[in-house]
Structure 1
Amino acid sequence: MTNPRTSQPTSFPGEPQQPRPGLTTMMRIKPDHGEESYVGKGLLRDKVALITGGDSGIGRAVAIAYAREGADVAISYLADEQADAEETRNWVERAGRRCLLLPGDIRDRDHCAALVERTVADLGRIDVLVNNAAAQTMNEGLETIDDDEMQAAFSANIFAMIRLAKAAVPHMAPGSAIVNTTSEQAKVANKSMIVYAATKGAISSLTVGLSNLLAEQGIRVNAVAPGPVWTPIQPIAKSSDELETLGQDTPIGRAGQPAELAPAFVLLASGEGSYMSGAIVAVTGGVPIG
């Protein structure tokens, strides 16, 4: 048995901050996306998944896991993240599956529709929608919250999810699934992350609402709520001192790695989770969110 407190890095010393959007290729301490560890079981054989934010972090780990479970994958990402996206495609193709790269900004309503259209046109269908991309904002006091940044965060984190679901559902057959990424911040709501926390709370509510709305169509909707996870979003928003101790205040005593989130996304997308809908699955290192 492996001790979860010591099975992954417990500190990230010397990690430099990054400008937006943040790149895995620029991280000194590379995250674990399951490249060398994830073993598939055929749980998504011949399915097609669209994953937003699939170039890096949790999205890359999900793309690798889905490919090894037998799915073809389309990933959306910002154009500035092209290098990371190509690395993700490399891992998907090494698993013997197709990977469609779809650069652009999900805050653009037309781009959301185009993502679904291209996925269906190029890969033939859409069985799983993973709404993972997110903008993380930090604040000190209320006076430091920038209005444009706040609107951009809600556009990326909430409005895009609704638009993508609206575009995808007409193409989804019974048995399909939508998996959203929320956060422990939906419940914890750190005082320095109130805009981000508000968007994540909205995602949790949206997940339940969509699950109720789509149940009659046989489409399941669930969410994964990560705790602190070692991804490029961290060096964008946090200082080097904060990065060094990231996750040490959780009961497990460390930050999570993207690879540790992927199994939850597989469960919720596959037949293994056939009686799960409207669930918020916590992967938080022991931080309660109930």
Structure 2
Amino acid sequence: MSDEQTLPAQHQTEQPGSETQMQPQPESINEYYQAARKLEGLVAIVTGGDSGIGRAVALHFAREGANVAIVYLDEHDDAAATRDQIHAMGRGCLLFAGDAADKDFCKGVVDNCLAEWKRLDVLVNNAGEQHPQDNLEDISEEQWEQTFRTNIFAMFQLTKAVLPHLNAGASIINTTSITAYKGNATLLDYSSTKGAITSFTRSLALNLAKRGIRVNAVAPGPIWTPLIPSTFTAEKVAQFGSNTPMGRPGQPSEVAPAYVYLASADSSYVSGQVIHVNGGTVVNG
């Protein structure tokens, strides 16, 4: 590899992308992670939980003692592999394939979780999509609306469906992005949705404080997930993460512990905040 190359050049033709096709495979959980049963007996819903950051979060939650429902679009093989790993940890896992921006679908997810586990404690709004374009004029209305539908409308619908069933001590965690703070010249619609997610997180935290429900977010930088090879050219993938102070992309396993912290009682006095996991980039946000 050259000094700027961080990964083998590769590309996938369809989003959200398949983890099984990635080389090297992303690391979802590492051998050094020491669980402490921080989420024992809790129930979590994780969107985009089939692969990438969502899979890592789901596995870390299960390692900490939670049962996990995974909401995903259509990568059934990745979702089944994640479920199998959760079952191997002795925890329960439900899979829900569909459009999280659909109100009726979200109601079905919540109803089935309550039927299975009788409670809901943590919601992780993580699913997202991105489509780079060099110019604003190149972004169609359809692309703009679809990106907002996936990244923020779905967050609104599922949060609204879950909220009546959350009690004091519950936690909502949203995935925003470094692009909400730095911007990105070719991800105009994606960055805009991430700015909306950051504002939604802060405002919802204020709204729910009196109910004892905490709302926070995680803002990843460049993380090696299926969205990367399914978004960018092989040449750009080969240099992914090289512009960070650490000079490399992060692994999903390096992001997931931030979600564990925000889901657990360790963060009982933390709400309306964003944790930046980005390889050392200072964004002052």
TM-score (norm 1): 0.94
Q: Identity over the aligned pairs, expressed in percent?
A: 47
Write the distance in 1 (CA, Å) between the matches of 2:113 and 2:34.
25
Write the distance in 1 (CA, Å) between the matches of 2:148 and 2:64.
32
1:175 aligns with 2:169: yes
User: Are the aligned partners of 2:11 and 2:232 in contact in 1 as well (CA < 8 Å)?
Assistant: no
Write the distance in 1 (CA, Å) between the matches of 2:149 and 2:16.
16
Deviations 1:244-288 (A, max 9, x none): 111110011110000000110000000001010000110011112
Write the distance in 1 (CA, Å) between the matches of 2:243 and 2:17.
24
Residue in structure 2 matched with residue 12 of structure 1 by the alignment: 7
Residue in structure 2 matched with residue 74 of structure 1 by the alignment: 69
In the alignment, structure 1 segments of 5+ residues that lack a partner are 1-9
Residue in structure 1 matched with residue 33 of structure 2 by the alignment: 38
Alignment partner of 2:18 out of 13, 16, 23: 23
Residue in structure 1 matched with residue 85 of structure 2 by the alignment: 91
The total of aligned residue pairs comes to 280
User: Are the aligned partners of 2:173 and 2:217 in contact in 1 as well (CA < 8 Å)?
Assistant: yes
Q: Which amino acid aligns with 1:267?
A: Y
Residue in structure 2 matched with residue 162 of structure 1 by the alignment: 156
1:271 aligns with 2:272: no
Deviations 1:28-83 (A, max 9, x none): 3210001544331100000000000000000000010000000000000113x000
Q: Which amino acid aligns with 1:188?
A: K
Q: Which amino acid aligns with 2:49?
A: G
User: Are the aligned partners of 1:35 and 1:91 in contact in 2 as well (CA < 8 Å)?
Assistant: no
User: Are the aligned partners of 1:131 and 1:179 in contact in 2 as well (CA < 8 Å)?
Assistant: yes
Write the distance in 2 (CA, Å) between the matches of 1:103 and 1:89.
13
Shift of 1:147: 1.1
Shift of 1:153: 0.8
User: Are the aligned partners of 1:35 and 1:64 in contact in 2 as well (CA < 8 Å)?
Assistant: no
TM-score (norm 2): 0.95
Alignment of 1:208-227 (within 5 A): 208-227=202-221
Write the distance in 1 (CA, Å) between the matches of 2:85 and 2:237.
27
Write the distance in 1 (CA, Å) between the matches of 2:144 and 2:112.
29
Please give the root-mean-square deviation of Cα atoms over the aligned residues, in Å. Answer: 1.2
SS in 2 for 1:236: coil
Write the distance in 2 (CA, Å) between the matches of 1:250 and 1:234.
16
Shift of 1:14: 2.9
Write the distance in 2 (CA, Å) between the matches of 1:268 and 1:18.
34
User: Are the aligned partners of 1:178 and 1:221 in contact in 2 as well (CA < 8 Å)?
Assistant: yes
**Counterparts in 2 of 1:209 and 1:28: CA distance versus 1, 3 Å:** same
Q: Which amino acid aligns with 1:20?
A: Q
Write the distance in 1 (CA, Å) between the matches of 2:92 and 2:30.
17
SS in 2 for 1:129: strand
User: Are the aligned partners of 1:208 and 1:222 in contact in 2 as well (CA < 8 Å)?
Assistant: yes
1:142 aligns with 2:128: no
Shift of 1:15: 2.1
User: Are the aligned partners of 2:49 and 2:55 in contact in 1 as well (CA < 8 Å)?
Assistant: yes
Shift of 1:21: 2.3
Alignment partner of 1:62 out of 48, 53, 57: 57
1:111 aligns with 2:131: no
Write the distance in 1 (CA, Å) between the matches of 2:226 and 2:172.
24
Write the distance in 2 (CA, Å) between the matches of 1:46 and 1:175.
14
In the alignment, structure 2 segments of 5+ residues that lack a partner are none
Write the distance in 1 (CA, Å) between the matches of 2:254 and 2:171.
20
Residue in structure 2 matched with residue 252 of structure 1 by the alignment: 246
Q: Which amino acid aligns with 1:13?
A: P
User: Are the aligned partners of 1:64 and 1:92 in contact in 2 as well (CA < 8 Å)?
Assistant: yes
